[in-house]
Amino acid sequence: MNILVTLNSNYIEQLIIMIYSILKSNPNVNFNVYIAHKELTEDDFSYIERYLDKKRCKIISVKVTDKVLKDAPVTKRYPREMYFRIFAAQFLPKDLDRILYLDPDLVVINPLNELYYMDFEDNYYIAASHVRKTMQKLNRFRLDMDENAYYINSGVMLMNLKLLREKQNIDSVFEYIEKNKNLLLLPDQDVLSALYGGKTKVVESLIYNLSDRYLKVHNMNFRNLDKRIDLDWVRENSVIMHYCGKNKPWKNNYFGELDIFYKEYAQMVAEIGKNITEDITESILENNTEDVQKKG
């Protein structure tokens, strides 16, 4: 399977936990993880690889240069990195037909097969939406979206790279941003929804993009009185826990119940880190002993 992430050095720890959760939840699958970035170093990649099974997980650096996005409108609010997932099809290897984009602030708790091999049905993306009907209408109006388009959550997206290479109009993206820059609240998510929401196959958020907020809203909805779900249901049925927004399980002010899944994988990674430290310490001690013996 091919996985795409985009990030800077501030999210490396979360990235390691996310990738580890993928490997743990998909034990018989090998992964190519493409990391699109502007400034990560060789040391950063070496650090990431220490925690992962190299036989099953190949980490691939994709450094996106300014030349690739030379015509993109860039400001403090619209950094160059926001374009990485919008234009992923343009800089990823041409032999890739599909790739699963994942934000680093999530964990995977069940197999990805059903999502990854889902039929695109001639769509550019497969994604979930965290927005209910009323807000869908408001977003369509705000962003001048097509009537049949969905406002999606861009943190989990299966990308139809083959079709995007054939059909994506790069200039139209820049033109849309320039024309609507004062209306964009979540810039890249707004742009992806506005331009491609009508070419996105929408999947169930409870399964493929579950956040604490979405879970709470679902369970509070009186229409779901007989469909309320608990953590046992989540553990059995959901695939991706997404800690989007400001409510992060690695922060002290986290409020929610889905952090249990993040903490399980974080603890496993911490144990690996402890073993790495012990191995390094042991190696240093052995080398020092050998040096002393040679001098003696």
d(CA 172, CA 218): 36
pTM of the model: 0.90
Q: Which domains does the chain possess? A: 2-295 (3.90.550.10)
Tens place of pLDDT for every residue, the chain, 296 residues? 999 999 888 899 999 999 999 999 999 999 999 999 988 999 999 999 999 999 999 999 999 877 767 767 666 656 677 788 999 999 999 999 999 999 999 999 999 999 999 999 999 999 998 776 666 667 676 777 777 788 889 999 999 999 999 999 988 988 888 888 777 777 788 889 889 999 999 999 999 999 999 999 999 988 888 889 999 999 999 999 999 988 999 999 999 999 999 999 999 999 999 888 766 555 555 555 455 455 55
d(CA 256, CA 247): 8
pLDDT of residue 289: 47
pLDDT of residue 292: 45
CA-nearest of 157, 169, 88 to 120 is 157
CA-nearest of 258, 254, 255 to 215 is 258
Helix H, strand E, coil C: the string for the chain is: CEEEEECCHHHHHHHHHHHHHHHHHCCCCCEEEEEEECCCCHHHHHHHHHCCCCCCEEEEEEECCCCCCCCCCCCCCCCHHHHCCCCHHHHCCCCCCEEEEECCCEEECCCCHHHHCCCCCCCCEEEECCCCHHHHHHHHHHHCCCCCCCCCCCCEEEEEHHHHHHHCCHHHHHHHHHHHCCCCCCHHHHHHHHHHHHHEEEECHHHHCECHHHHHHHHHCHHHCCCCCCHHHHHHHCCEEECCCCCCCCCCCCCCCCHHHHHHHHHHHHHHHHHHHHHHHHHHHHHHHHHHHHHC
pLDDT of residue 235: 98
pLDDT of residue 131: 74
User: CA quadruple 121, 122, 124, 130: dihedral positive or negative?
Assistant: negative
